[in-house]
Structure 1
Amino acid sequence: MASSTPLSLIILVTLNIQLLLLLLPPQTQAQTPSAPAPAPAGPVNLTGILDKNGQYTTFIRLLVDTQVDNQIENQLNTSSEGLTVFAPTDNAFNNLKSGAINDLSTQEKVQLVLYHVSPKYYRLIDLLTVTNPVRTQASGNDSNWGLNFTGHGNQVNVTTGIVTTQINNALRQQFPLGLYQVDMVLLPEELFGAKPPASAPSPAKTPSSTSNTKTNTSAPASPTKGNGASGRNVVGWVLSLGLGMICMGALS
């Protein structure tokens, strides 16, 4: 009996320690360090991506000069639809006729840049099944300023009605931004299409002679009575003068 006492005490003390540990507040217990949560993704920087890939200097300058870059950045980080941007290379701009861009007004440059942006995120494979025409940021409430997509397999072509080019390179294909290289500037018909001939001004109507020329229906003026009376007075005066001279001759 004496030999079993120490063992009983050991068991009792062990149980008491375990119970005490269970009663301690959680903050005093040893913590296993957890893995840090992944940092949230930063804002998408369109011009930064273009600059990193090179050969988009002219398109970047247009984005900045028209301040469309600020509009795109805001939409990329707030819109639930995302955006799709078609970025022409510097060679694409160099192949335009001289003055094609510089001759545009500020508003027209804004419209040209917005024409290269669709207000929805598309993967390349999505562009093969879209309903044409696809709206762009330049589109209004009608179907103008739209893009049309065709192709098969891994080849996707985009056409504006003036130019058709292949989408060759996906610079970014991750929501909220689909960014694709095009080797031609997408020229909208609304800016670069054939202008309708100016209508000639309507010839001035020549008034007819019968409408402007009034027929003189008044009777010719008749001699006034005053003129007739004056004539009679002159005749009477001449006769009187003649009689007077005759009488003077007779008296002499």
Structure 2
Amino acid sequence: MASLFSISHFTPVTFIYFLLFSISHKPIFAIDVTNLLSSYPDLSDFSNLLISTAVATDLSPRTSITLLAVPNTLLHYSDLTNHHSSPSDSSLSSTNLADVIRYHVLLEYISWPDLRLIPPNGKLITTLFQTTGRASANSGFVNMTRNPNSNAITVHSSTSNATVLSLIKTLPYNISIFSIDSLLIPSDINLMASETRPPLGLNITKALIDGHNFNVAASMLTASGVESEFEQDEGGAGITLFVPTDEAFSDLPARLKFQSLPATQKSVVLRFHVLHSYYPLGSLESIVNPVQPTLATEDTGAGRFTLNISRINGSVAIDSGIVQATVTQTVFDQKPVAIFGISKVLLPKEYFGSHPIEGDNPVGGETGDDAPPPDILLSPENSPGFYGPPSHISSPPGLDMRSAAAAEKGLFWRVLLGFSCIVFCNFNLLLV
């Protein structure tokens, strides 16, 4: 009887407490690195570099990282600080500076016990620099090795090494911060590169082919003849290109008949993917005026063929008015040219109307009021890379709660599980 009483008492009461606990502990977090570093004055210079390069913003949507921070006393002697010691010193470009800091962000959570398990011959670990598209071969990785005699942990790049000094902070299983004794410089970074270098004379088609998965866009650029126009625009404010992947072109609904557009309209669509200013990724993420004119705007008049650029759920979203794409990778970024891969072909509403064209309607006409909603719209919540793996902890300092939508989905399954438990327990009672 005691057992029966325990079961009947457990079922509703425990479920209610379980449900309330589940509602109050949402599993999605965002990392606030600068808040975590604020308690450590000896890391203030490195923290300031995270902020000034906008790398801290890049880290916000991630859920599992390891940061290698250099103390002020050691950072002062590094080439990085010497080259960037004053605002008037332009010997180290802002892109190179940001990439050096990205090289100190490891894209996995590593605890102190994990370091003790690193094999003597080393473990290759991906850094945030690898995600920019500017790292060649393995230059976006570091190799961590352990001395079996002293247990000292060394971080190796092809041009520099650093020794792990101590564990500064850990929030299992989201972030670890270790101090290291010197700055790490990736092999692709030239600290003496000038920010004021002349135009590159970049071959855009070659850059796209080298970037892989952009063959359709490269072919269209060559066939349309607009590539030379883009390359001539490298001077002055520079250019920023949003290039759809091959998958983005293959995902276009057949009814749109995109490939059947007249050559002149195809050229306008290609110009619609280009901003007449140089925007590195950090600038896109913090853009002040979200409505941006394109090269197509310059040809057709103000207010037409504009793009709306915003930051949604940690990614850069680009809205054409009838389709929303996200930046998936950096193909090339060297002032004055930035090339980004995007997940969708940007369809201008000036040609495709308020909704995607239905059936055999001519391209360029407006759809009727009864046209179904577009099925080519990319929902930011469903875009790859927006949400990382669930966290194993609840509301630690330095982490902000995110995504009520994701929490609601989790709540649905918890409620369903809870009711299943009630039915099962009551069924057992009836049997007894």
TM-score where L is the length of structure 2: 0.35
Which stretches in structure 1 are left out of the alignment for 5+ residues?
Answer: 1-37, 199-252
Structure 1 segments, 4+ long, off by >4 Å, are 38-42
The answer for unaligned runs of 5 or more in structure 2 is: 1-193, 355-364, 369-432
Instruction: Verify: 1:93 aligned to 2:249, yes or no.
Output: yes
Per the TM alignment, residue 197 of structure 1 is displaced from its structure 2 partner at its CA by: 6.9
Query: In structure 1, what is the Cα distance between the partners aligned to 2:353 and 2:257?
Result: 12
Q: 1:73 to 1:158 in 2, by over 3 A?
A: same
1:181-237 residue CA offsets vs partner (Å, 9 max, x unmatched):
101001110111143479xxxxxxxxxxxxxxxxxxxxxxxxxxxxxxxxxxxxxxx
- The within-5 A match list for 1:191-206 is 191-194=351-354, 195-196=365-366
Between Structure 1 and Structure 2, how many residues are aligned? 159
1:148 touches 1:159 (CA, 8 Å); kept in 2? Answer: yes
The one of 155, 160, 177 equivalent to 2:337 is: 177
1:43 counterpart (201, 206, 210): 201
Instruction: Please say if residues 125 and 154 of structure 1, whose CA atoms lie closer than 8 Å, have aligned partners that are also in contact.
Output: no
Q: 1:94 to 1:124 in 2, by over 3 A?
A: same
> Per the alignment, in what secondary structure is the counterpart of residue 161 of structure 1?
coil
Shift of 1:154: 4.7
Q: Tell me how far 1:149 sits from its aligned partner.
A: 1.0
Kept after mapping to 2: 8 A contact 1:84/1:177: yes
Q: How is 1:48-87 mapped onto 2 (pairs within 5 angstroms)?
A: 48-76=206-234, 79-87=235-243
CA RMSD, 1 decimal: 2.3
Q: Does residue 1:135 correspond to 2:293, yes or no? A: yes
Rounded to whole Å, the distance in 2 between the matches of 1:61 and 1:52 is 13
Question: How far is the alpha carbon of 1:136 from its aligned partner?
Answer: 0.5
Partner residue of 2:15?
Answer: none
Deviations 1:38-70 (A, max 9, x none): 998852111111011111111011101110111
Partners in 2 of 1:126 and 1:54 — Cα distance?
A: 25
Alignment of 1:22-41 (within 5 A): none
Supply the distance in 1 between the matched residues of 2:279 and 2:199 (Cα, whole angstroms): 20
Q: Pick one of 152, 156, 179 that aligns with 2:316.
A: 156
Separation in 2, partners of 1:53, 1:62: 16
Contact 1:59–1:89 (Cα < 8 Å) also in 2: yes
C-alpha distance in 1, partners of 2:236/2:345? 28
User: Of Structure 1 and Structure 2, which has the larger fraction of its residues in strand?
Assistant: 2
> Within 2, Cα distance between the matches of 1:68 and 1:177?
16
Percent pairwise identity? 26
Aligned partner of 2:330: which letter? Answer: A
Once residues 198 and 259 of structure 2 are traced to their aligned partners in structure 1, the CA distance between those partners, rounded to angstroms, is: 41
Structure whose CA Rg is larger: 1
Q: Secondary structure of the equivalent of 1:158?
A: strand
Whose relative contact order is higher, 1 or 2, with alpha carbons under 8 Å and at least 6 apart? Answer: 2
Deviations along 1:100-147, one digit per CA (max 9) or x if unpaired, are 222201111000100011111011221232313101000033111000
User: For 1:110 and 1:191, how far apart are their aligned partners in 2?
Assistant: 12
Amino acid at match of 1:90: D
Where does 1:7-22 land on structure 2 (aligned, <5 Å)?
A: none
What is the CA-CA distance between 1:179 and the residue it aligns to? Answer: 0.6
SS in 1 for 2:292: coil
Kindly indicate whether the alpha-carbon contact (under 8 Å) linking 1:171 and 1:181 is maintained by their aligned counterparts in 2.
Answer: yes
Distance in 2 (alpha carbons) for counterparts of 1:74 and 1:112? 18
Distance 1:119 1:40 in 2: 17
Separation in 2, partners of 1:154, 1:172: 21
Rounded to whole Å, the distance in 2 between the matches of 1:142 and 1:41 is 28
2:351 alignment partner, SS class: helix
Distance in 1 between the 2:367 and 2:247 partners? 32
TM-score, length-scaled by structure 1: 0.58
User: Secondary structure of 1:70's match?
Assistant: helix
Q: Would the aligned equivalents of 2:213 and 2:246 in 1 still touch at CA under 8 Å?
A: yes
